[in-house]
């Protein structure tokens, strides 16, 4: 009598084991099977150990029947959302796995046969074995031409085999009549892979890494075989130590190095690959720095000299002699060496004392910042404030006390105090007990329970009452100044009141409403109100030069009583700014940068920076310039405050709330990198909590549902033979030269050529006339033909905006419109600043002769109100989707009463179509707002380049 394994029955009734009687005769071999029951187990397997028989009882027909009944009862009690078939299949599979796993050590005590269906519909019955080897699952990426293929491998007894060589029945693998038991986790992983089907990403390496590899690499080795381009990290590391323990007897000190947040440890090697969220990074390690740090640690104890394992260990008894470890711990903190892992040590006893915090707050007279006297005690022992901050920045939650115990900082303590210490500035002095904190952090304690707040009391109770009233719909906090000639929508009134509330608290405000919701009107109301509150003190509006006269017109329209002065151009006179009676000064970023010393000598009631993403780079001169301005209140306006990544927020927030977010290095390490690179949900929530009071973002869908519908579509253009042949000729030349350059110099060196190649092909899509350095035989432009046809059909009853990146293309469109008697206006980078608003005003008039507005994309994609148009044509769509939306929003904004139709003009089967496909496949590119073409090219891989020019 032998055991018969029927692995396919895992998916049906679960009766995977039964008895088989094999009888051999001259006529052949006969098989007789019967169910596995308790009586037969005792009779036929009397020689089998009791433990093996006990497990076999759990796999008998009766036990499996009981198991299925139990699963049914559990399902009915749980009222699961899953259908019963799916629920029972999962539950039965897991239970069968657990019982077979228990029987695996006894498998050699019995004989085995197996019965499996064949492809022909028959059943094969043959002897088999049940191996004790544990299969190890791993994966690798193999490149086959342009395809990226994921292959699974199985390691058995040191040998590696492709998973494809095995037949798989859930958690059972079979090859050559030998069975191996996968872990249940491996079974789930392979089920997930079958469901997600990695083959769908074989032409999209970014999607493959993001959707598949990033998840696999959390649990399995994945060999990428150098198939993907790595981001190189080459900068000096931050040295730190990790504490751990062995057998509760030895303390282990492991040197580690953080390269821009990426961890390296162990023996030095020139390069280390790290995978984070599916993206590959190459760390270029600094040998001298690592060696010096390891030698410093080695010198901490005589016993470390002979230890060569890449880490150092010492018995806990030895570590406690003469307080050796306590001294080393404090020495490392004094040297600014982060110490991590302390709160994970089991050997240390925990202090019986809870953290006791004593705080008193006073205001710093010169800056308005808060000086917090901060003392933390565990029993009688006071913790150094400087050391406490270092511990928190290292992500630790325990403090080593003088008696060798660990003082635990619980969740409640951390939620109340950690942000104050992390964001605050410890006053100089070794024994200091004072930390300087931005007063605006008090707003983060809005929901603190009375008695648990720390900074909240620095704002008066009547202010908090108004803040809470403001959050209620229909509540009015401040009247709109009588000098404002406008009726505000409810959400605009809320925005105006919000800015005034923050000004009362001494804080700045970032109004980040969607394009077209009236950010300038809400801000003008604030300026009018503050002019009444602080008469004689002017306001300053800083904006791109192209928006200066837009601001002038808005101010004249809504607050004609406020006096205005434009400070811009070669004839500007700084002495005029000192004259009394000027309410609002309007200048450009460029002028401010040139006259920074003069402008910094003035005092303003309010400084407004429009399109504040212009200061997103904290190292740029214009960012340093605006931070030198003296103002009682600061306002930033931007529909897109985050253009590339979270770090874009830092400079804008630092302008509005100086000091609150620490240094740029701190912000990058504490928030930007964990959020953008590691997708750290806790850090995201922490930053959202900090910024929420100071950033107001409303979308059109939220607050202006009455806006007419916007329809965006692609207007496909099919090239004629001559233009197509010209395109293909240039594409082939570009592809050959770029491929050769990348092969010889690498992708980084070739990216400028990629940019030029993309530009040239886009120009051919527009018109062959734009390409001057090629011997072309065609000057056709299918886009121009299609555009003229569309304009002829709509301009009798509608007005249209036409955007192009190329001013030479606008020249060609001018000729085409003149030829076809279609009247138009034109605005580009050469249009005088003073003439821009005149053109806009003329086009906006309902009886204007001009029906089309030709606009350079960079010159006119922001700040213009062109609601007279209800058609938008993007002649050569921008790679940056945010810039495209800004162009469309010139007409789809408050004041628009007609449905808006926006068309992207795309030449079929060209680089333009491939860009759209690439953005759809790489959704991250479409979501992350890329400000320049170079930014788009910077993210391309060699495979992307081959796709674009292929």
pLDDT number for residue 793 = 78
pLDDT at 190 over 80: yes
More confident of the two residues 637 and 704? 637
pLDDT at 938 over 70: no
pLDDT number for residue 908 = 85
Q: Region 352-376: what's the mean pLDDT?
A: 86
Q: Region 444-465: what's the mean pLDDT?
A: 84
Alpha helix (H) ranges present in 705-805? 721-745, 747-766, 782-794
Considering the segment(s) 711-949 as one domain, its CATH architecture is 3-Layer(aba) Sandwich (3.40)
What is the CB-side half-sphere exposure of residue 864 using CA atoms within 13 A?
34
| Residues 297 and 337 sit within 8 Å (Cβ to Cβ) | no
Delimiting residues of CATH 3.40.50.300 domain(s) in the chain = 711-949
pLDDT at 668 over 70: yes
Residue with tokens 């947040």: 261
Residue with tokens 């006990």: 54
Categorize the per-residue pLDDT at 644 as very low, low, confident or very high, splitting at 50, 70 and 90: low
| Residues 23 and 33 sit within 8 Å (Cβ to Cβ) | no
Q: Region 271-277: what's the mean pLDDT?
A: 81
37: CB partners within 8 A, 6+ apart: 60, 61, 62
Distance (Å, rounded) from C-alpha 948 to C-alpha 930? 18
Distance (Å, rounded) from C-alpha 69 to C-alpha 546? 75
pLDDT number for residue 205 = 85
Average pLDDT over the chain reads 86
pLDDT at 256 over 80: yes
pLDDT at 718 over 70: yes
pLDDT at 632 over 80: yes
Q: Region 647-666: what's the mean pLDDT?
A: 90
pLDDT number for residue 927 = 39
476: CB partners within 8 A, 6+ apart: 493, 497
Q: Region 335-339: what's the mean pLDDT?
A: 90
pLDDT number for residue 900 = 83
Lowest mean pLDDT among 228-242, 261-275, 420-434, 810-824: 420-434
pLDDT at 661 over 60: yes
pLDDT at 368 over 80: no
Alpha helix (H) ranges present in 672-720? 673-676, 681-691, 700-703
pLDDT at 933 over 50: no
Categorize the per-residue pLDDT at 932 as very low, low, confident or very high, splitting at 50, 70 and 90: very low
Delimiting residues of CATH 3.40.50.10810 domain(s) in the chain = 476-703
Q: Residue 91 is encoded by which pair of tokens?
A: 């539950």
Categorize the per-residue pLDDT at 923 as very low, low, confident or very high, splitting at 50, 70 and 90: very low
Q: Region 310-315: what's the mean pLDDT?
A: 90
| Residues 391 and 338 sit within 8 Å (Cβ to Cβ) | no
Q: Which stretch of DSSP H or E encloses residue 407?
A: strand 406-408
| Residues 204 and 125 sit within 8 Å (Cβ to Cβ) | no
Among the ranges 24-28, 421-425, 578-582, 911-915, which has the highest mean pLDDT value?
A: 421-425
Distance (Å, rounded) from C-alpha 663 to C-alpha 668? 9
Categorize the per-residue pLDDT at 925 as very low, low, confident or very high, splitting at 50, 70 and 90: very low
More confident of the two residues 912 and 946? 912
Residue with tokens 């993403």: 613
pLDDT number for residue 194 = 92
Torsion of CA 114, 115, 117, 123, to 10 degrees: 130
Lowest mean pLDDT among 54-58, 659-663, 775-779: 775-779
pLDDT at 328 over 70: yes
Model confidence over 481-517: pLDDT tens digits?
999 999 998 999 999 999 999 999 999 999 998 777 8
Residue with tokens 């609601």: 867
Q: Region 747-770: what's the mean pLDDT?
A: 84
In eight-state DSSP terms, residue 669 is: I
Lowest mean pLDDT among 16-25, 73-82, 91-100, 380-389: 73-82
Q: Region 233-244: what's the mean pLDDT?
A: 92
Q: Residue 69 is encoded by which pair of tokens?
A: 């009944």
pLDDT number for residue 694 = 93
Percentage of the chain modeled with pLDDT above 70: 94
pLDDT at 929 over 70: no
Model confidence over 507-554: pLDDT tens digits?
999 999 877 788 999 999 999 999 999 998 999 999 988 788 778 888
Model confidence over 547-561: pLDDT tens digits?
887 788 889 989 999
Closest CA to 840 of 862, 858, 808: 862
Categorize the per-residue pLDDT at 861 as very low, low, confident or very high, splitting at 50, 70 and 90: low
Categorize the per-residue pLDDT at 74 as very low, low, confident or very high, splitting at 50, 70 and 90: confident
pLDDT number for residue 879 = 66
Q: Residue 846 is encoded by which pair of tokens?
A: 């309902």
pLDDT number for residue 397 = 87
pLDDT at 776 over 80: no
CA distances from 588 to 248, 562, 706 (A): 66, 20, 34
Q: Region 629-635: what's the mean pLDDT?
A: 94
More confident of the two residues 314 and 721? 314
Q: Region 599-604: what's the mean pLDDT?
A: 93
Q: Region 395-401: what's the mean pLDDT?
A: 88
Q: Residue 865 is encoded by which pair of tokens?
A: 């109100």
More confident of the two residues 700 and 606? 606
pTM (two decimals): 0.60
pLDDT at 479 over 90: yes
pLDDT at 926 over 50: no
Alpha helix (H) ranges present in 795-928? 807-819, 833-844, 857-860, 881-888, 911-921, 923-927
pLDDT at 935 over 50: no
pLDDT number for residue 880 = 66
Q: Region 176-181: what's the mean pLDDT?
A: 95
Report the greatest alpha carbon distance in the chain. Answer: 121
pLDDT number for residue 136 = 94
Please state which of the four CATH numbers 1.10.760.10, 3.40.50.10810, 3.40.50.10420, 3.40.50.300 is assigned to the domain occupying 476-703.
3.40.50.10810
CA distances from 708 to 252, 699, 894, 896 (A): 66, 14, 10, 7
pLDDT number for residue 289 = 95
């Amino acid at each position: 009598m032998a055991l018969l394994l029927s692995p396919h029955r895992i998916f049906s009734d679960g009766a995977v084991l039964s008895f088989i009687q094999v009888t051999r005769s001259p006529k052949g071999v006969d098989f007789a099977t019967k169910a596995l029951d308790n009586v037969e187990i005792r009779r036929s397997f009397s020689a089998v150990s009791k433990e093996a028989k006990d497990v076999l009882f759990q796999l008998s027909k009766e036990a499996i029947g009981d198991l299925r009944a139990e699963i049914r009862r559990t399902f009915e009690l749980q009222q699961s959302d899953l259908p019963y078939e799916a629920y029972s299949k999962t539950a039965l599979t897991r239970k069968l796995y657990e019982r077979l796993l228990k029987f695996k050590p006894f498998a050699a005590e019995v004989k085995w046969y197996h019965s499996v269906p064949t492809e022909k519909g028959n059943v094969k019955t043959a002897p088999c074995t049940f191996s004790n080897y544990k299969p190890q699952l791993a994966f690798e990426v193999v490149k086959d031409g342009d395809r990226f293929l994921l292959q699974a491998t199985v390691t058995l007894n040191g040998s590696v085999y492709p998973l494809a060589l095995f037949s798989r029945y859930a958690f059972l693998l079979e090859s050559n009549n030998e069975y191996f038991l996968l872990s249940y986790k491996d079974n789930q992983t392979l089920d997930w892979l079958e469901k997600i089907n990695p083959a769908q990403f074989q032409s999209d390496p970014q999607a493959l890494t993001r959707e598949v590899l990033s998840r696999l690499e959390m649990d399995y080795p994945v060999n990428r075989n150098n198939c993907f381009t790595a981001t190189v990290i080459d900068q000096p590391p931050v040295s730190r130590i990790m504490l751990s323990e062995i057998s509760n007897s030895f303390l282990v000190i492991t040197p580690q190095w953080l390269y821009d947040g990426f961890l390296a440890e162990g023996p030095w090697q020139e390069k280390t690959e790290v995978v984070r969220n599916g993206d590959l990074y190459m760390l270029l390690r600094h040998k001298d720095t690592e060696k010096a740090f390891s030698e410093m640690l080695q010198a901490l104890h005589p016993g470390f000299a002979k230890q060569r394992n890449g880490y150092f260990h010492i018995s806990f008894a030895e570590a406690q002699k003469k307080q050796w470890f306590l001294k080393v711990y404090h020495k490392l903190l004094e040297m600014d060496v982060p110490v991590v892992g302390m709160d994970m040590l089991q050997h240390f006893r925990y202090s019986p004392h809870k953290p006791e915090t004593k705080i008193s707050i006073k205001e710093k007279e010169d800056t308005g910042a808060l000086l917090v006297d901060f003392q933390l005690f565990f029993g009688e022992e006071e913790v150094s404030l400087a050391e406490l901050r270092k511990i928190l920045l290292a992500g630790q939650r325990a403090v080593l006390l003088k008696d060798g115990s660990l003082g635990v900082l619980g969740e409640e303590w951390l939620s109340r105090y950690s942000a104050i210490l992390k964001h605050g500035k410890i006053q100089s002095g070794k024994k200091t007990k004072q930390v300087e904190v931005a007063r605006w952090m008090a707003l983060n304690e809005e929901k603190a329970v009375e008695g648990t707040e720390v900074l909240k009391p620095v704002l008066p109770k009547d202010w908090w009452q108004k803040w809470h009233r403001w959050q209620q719909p229909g509540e009015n906090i401040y009247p709109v100044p009588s000098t404002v000639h406008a009726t505000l929508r409810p959400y605009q009134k809320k925005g105006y009141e919000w800015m005034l509330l923050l000004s009362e608290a001494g804080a700045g405000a970032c109004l980040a409403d969607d394009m077209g919701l009236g950010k300038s009107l809400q801000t003008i109301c604030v300026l009018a109100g503050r002019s009444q509150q602080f008469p004689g003190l002017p306001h300053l509006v800083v904006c791109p030069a192209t928006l200066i006269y837009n601001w002038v017109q808005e101010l004249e329209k809504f607050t004609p009583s406020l006096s205005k002065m434009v400070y811009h151009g070669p004839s500007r006179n700084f002495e005029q700014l000192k004259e009394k009676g000027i309410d609002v000064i309007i200048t450009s970023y460029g002028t401010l940068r040139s006259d920074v010393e003069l402008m910094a000598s003035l005092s303003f009631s309010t400084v407004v920076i429009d399109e504040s993403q212009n200061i997103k780079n904290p190292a740029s001169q214009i960012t340093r310039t605006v931070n030198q301005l003296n103002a009682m209140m600061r306002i930033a306006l931007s529909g897109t405050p985050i253009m590339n990544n979270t770090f874009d927020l830092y400079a804008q927030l630092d302008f509005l709330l100086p000091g609150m977010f620490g240094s740029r290095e701190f912000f990058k390490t504490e928030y930007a990198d964990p959020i953008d690179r590691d997708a750290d949900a806790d850090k995201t929530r922490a930053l959202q909590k900090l910024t929420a009071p100071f950033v107001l973002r409303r979308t059109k869908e939220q607050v202006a549902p009455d806006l007419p519908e916007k329809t965006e579509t692609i207007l496909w253009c099919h090239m004629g033979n001559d233009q197509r042949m010209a395109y293909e000729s240039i594409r082939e030349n570009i592809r050959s030269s770029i491929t050769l350059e990348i092969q010889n110099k690498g992708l980084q060196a070739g990216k400028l050529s990629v940019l030029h190649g993309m530009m040239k092909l886009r120009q051919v899509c527009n018109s062959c006339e734009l390409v001057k350095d090629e011997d072309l035989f065609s000057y056709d432009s299918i886009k121009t033909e299609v555009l003229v046809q569309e304009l002829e059909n709509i301009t009798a009853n509608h007005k249209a905006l036409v955007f192009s990146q190329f001013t030479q293309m606008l020249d060609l469109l001018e000729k085409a419109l003149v030829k076809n008697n279609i009247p138009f206006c034109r605005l580009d980078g050469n249009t005088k600043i003073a003439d821009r608003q005149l053109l806009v005003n003329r086009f906006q008039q309902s009886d204007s002769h001009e029906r089309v507005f030709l606009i350079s994309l960079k010159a006119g994609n922001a700040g213009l109100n062109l609601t007279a148009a209800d058609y938008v044509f993007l002649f050569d769509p921008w790679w940056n989707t945010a810039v495209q939306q800004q162009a469309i929003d010139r007409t789809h904004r408050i004041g628009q009463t007609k449905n808006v139709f926006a068309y992207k003009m795309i030449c079929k089967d060209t680089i333009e179509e491939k860009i759209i496909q690439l953005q759809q496949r790489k959704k991250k590119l479409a979501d992350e707002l890329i400000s320049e073409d170079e930014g788009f090219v910077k993210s391309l891989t060699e495979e992307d380049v081959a796709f674009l020019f292929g």
